[in-house]
């Protein structure tokens, strides 16, 4: 990081809490490697804990041998060892950890002293805010330390609580709290700076894909690794957040016997990751005003409901045009991977004095896994007489759709207008390519007192989909199987389903069933 760039706030959990606190007290990045010396890490583990760990490891090996040999001699030896280990196991259960935190705490207090989260200035905290996360076993929730949440708390206390890896170290007990490593709930708390006024960069340690072990102490190691990383695999990074992964291979957070080679590898990996950051791009000399919504789902629901209500209002009889003519050509391209591209060509003409304010596009009538955000429609129109405003209106499993508002409303002065809607939807026809029937449909509502309508479906199916697919409809139409067409050098079967021009009433749904033979 360039020297002229100032860190305004820093946060972390587990080992990240140590690094965050060191940076907060003004430790220069070049000096951080002094805290990676092997003797420091080995010193965190008490002699009594090491002996207990050694005995338990020996027992685990004997139990594994007994299971492998299936002999009475091995079983007796393993049973006797388990009996002798009763005190060790009881100590771990009672204290909830293999090691006490005595040596670890001593080192932390030596480094951070009596600094509190409110302390600012030289030899204190040199950032505007320091945030550290621990996990409270009593409540199963985060315990966040910061100038706002715990102004008078010692930084050292917060660091110790955040690095007490469950099972490995005894928890920190501060009645009524039982505090352990914040990684139990989130090993990469990107949410800490969701409301930050400044650009935020997060460095996340990422090991190679876990080699899951299911026996002995390998199982324990896999359990700890999974526990410390699982929550963050389902959490998206915060908005306005630049994520920089640092690959650590097999140097896990639970490895305290670091070698000189391990330390060199970690330092080099960090330097490589940092060298790829455009620091100037993610730096701001002044605060940036950003919108942050703590209730995004409720806000989205409000937008969807309001749009639907607006559409329903302008669909009332008093707003309907006298006469309206609608012609649709709907092309659905089904790709080998189950994704789809849809091109919806629309031709509208309003007759009479009353205008048409809006129309609605419904994307599905059967449950789909994708979100409305996966659709990302592209809407274009021909002519200068109007514009289209597209708003999301439905995001239900079996109904997703948009409302399109005409600006200005369409009237007879505009004449015939043409507009086009295109979408790409991942996994839209996943059921079809797995051998299950599916459906293409178009839904329209009577939009005028006299509403004439005609639709033509064009279905293109990637010929690499080997299933024999037939079409079936429940509306009057003609079905033609035409010659295959080539798109991007890929051949597609072509089926055309057409209706005659007719007058429609109420709500109409035109369903083309795709049947796998």
Indicate which residues carry an active-site annotation.
Answer: 14, 181
Pairing of strands 9-13, 129-136: parallel
- In what side-by-side order are the strands of the sheet with 356-362? 356-362, 399-410, 387-396
Pull the structure tokens for residue 230.
Answer: 């699982």
User: Are 397 and 307 within 8 A, CB to CB?
Assistant: no
Contacts (Cβ under 8 Å, ≥6 apart) of 433: 336, 337, 338, 465, 467
User: Are 317 and 287 within 8 A, CB to CB?
Assistant: no
By three-state DSSP, how is residue 18 classified?
Answer: helix
DSSP 154: B
Pull the structure tokens for residue 63.
Answer: 């139990």
Residue 97 CB coordination number (10 Å): 20
Query: Which residues are registered as beta bridge partners of 277?
Result: none
Contacts (Cβ under 8 Å, ≥6 apart) of 84: none
Pull the structure tokens for residue 134.
Answer: 């621990």
Pull the structure tokens for residue 267.
Answer: 């330092």
355 in the Ramachandran plot: left (φ > 0), alpha (ψ -120 to 50) or beta? beta
Pairing of strands 177-181, 399-410: unpaired
User: 């390998």: which residue's tokens?
Assistant: 218
DSSP-based helix, strand, coil % in the chain, nearest 5: 30, 35, 35
Residue 435 CB coordination number (10 Å): 8
Listed residue (118, 131, 245, 276) closest to 194, CA to CA: 131
By three-state DSSP, how is residue 252 classified?
Answer: coil
Pairing of strands 323-334, 450-462: parallel
User: Are 444 and 315 within 8 A, CB to CB?
Assistant: no
CA dihedral 23, 183, 203, 220 (to 10 degrees): 120
Backbone phi and psi for residue 80, each to the nearest 5 degrees, phi listed first: -65, -40
Listed residue (416, 423, 421) closest to 347, CA to CA: 416
Listed residue (86, 61, 155) closest to 116, CA to CA: 155
- Tell me the angle at which helices 155-162 and 15-24 cross, rounded to the nearest 10 degrees: 160
Separation between Cα atoms, residue 304 and residue 309, nearest integer Å: 9
């Amino acid at each position: 990081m360039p020297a002229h760039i100032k860190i305004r706030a820093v946060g972390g959990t587990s080992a990240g809490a140590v690094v965050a606190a060191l940076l907060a007290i003004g430790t220069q990045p070049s000096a951080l490697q002094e805290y990676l010396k092997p003797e420091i890490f080995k010193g965190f583990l008490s002699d009594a804990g090491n002996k207990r760990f050694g005995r338990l490891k020996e027992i685990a090996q004997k139990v594994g041998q007994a299971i492998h040999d299936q002999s009475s001699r091995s079983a007796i030896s393993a049973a006797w060892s388990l009996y002798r280990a009763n005190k060790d196991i009881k100590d771990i259960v009672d204290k909830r950890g293999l090691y006490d935190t005595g040596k670890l705490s001593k080192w932390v207090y030596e480094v951070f002293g009596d600094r509190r989260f409110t302390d600012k200035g030289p030899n204190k905290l040199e950032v505007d805010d320091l945030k550290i996360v621990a996990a409270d076993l009593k409540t199963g929730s985060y315990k966040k330390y910061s100038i706002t949440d715990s102004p008078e708390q010692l930084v050292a206390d917060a660091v110790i609580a955040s690095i007490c890896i469950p099972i490995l170290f005894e928890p920190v007990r501060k009645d009524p709290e039982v505090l352990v490593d914040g990684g139990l709930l989130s090993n990469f708390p990107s949410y800490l700076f969701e409301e930050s006024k400044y650009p935020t960069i997060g460095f996340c340690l990422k090991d190679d894909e876990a080699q899951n072990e299911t026996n002995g102490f390998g199982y324990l190691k896999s359990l700890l690794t999974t526990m410390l990383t699982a929550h963050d695999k389902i959490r998206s990074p915060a908005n306005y957040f630049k994520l920089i992964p640092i690959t650590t291979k097999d140097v896990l957070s639970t490895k305290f016997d670091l070698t000189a080679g391990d330390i060199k590898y970690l330092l080099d990996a960090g330097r490589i990751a940092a060298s790829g950051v455009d620091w100037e791009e993610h730096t701001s000399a002044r605060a940036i005003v950003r919108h942050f919504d703590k209730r995004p789902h409720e806000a989205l629901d409000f937008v969807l409901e309001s749009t639907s209500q607006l559409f329903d209002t302008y669909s009332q009889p008093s707003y309907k045009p006298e006469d309206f003519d609608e012609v649709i050509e709907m092309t659905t391209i089904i790709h080998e991977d189950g994704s789809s591209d849809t091109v919806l060509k629309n031709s509208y003409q309003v007759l009479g004095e009353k205008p048409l304010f809006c129309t609605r596009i419904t994307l599905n009538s059967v449950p789909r896994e994708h979100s409305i955000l996966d659709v990302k429609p592209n809407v274009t129109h021909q002519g200068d007489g109007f514009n289209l405003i597209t708003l999301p209106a439905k995001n239900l499993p079996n109904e997703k759709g948009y409302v399109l508002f005409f600006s200005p409303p369409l009237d007879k002065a505009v004449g015939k207008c043409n507009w086009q809607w295109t979408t790409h939807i991942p996994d839209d026809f996943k059921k079809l390519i797995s051998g299950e029937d599916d459906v293409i449909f178009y839904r329209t509502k009577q939009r005028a007192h006299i509403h004439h309508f005609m639709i033509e479906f064009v279905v293109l199916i990637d010929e690499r989909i080997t299933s024999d697919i037939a079409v079936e409809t429940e509306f009057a139409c003609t079905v033609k199987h035409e010659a295959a067409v080539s798109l991007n050098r890929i051949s597609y079967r072509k089926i055309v389903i057409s209706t005659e021009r007719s007058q429609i009433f109420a709500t109409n749904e035109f369903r083309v069933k795709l049947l796998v033979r």
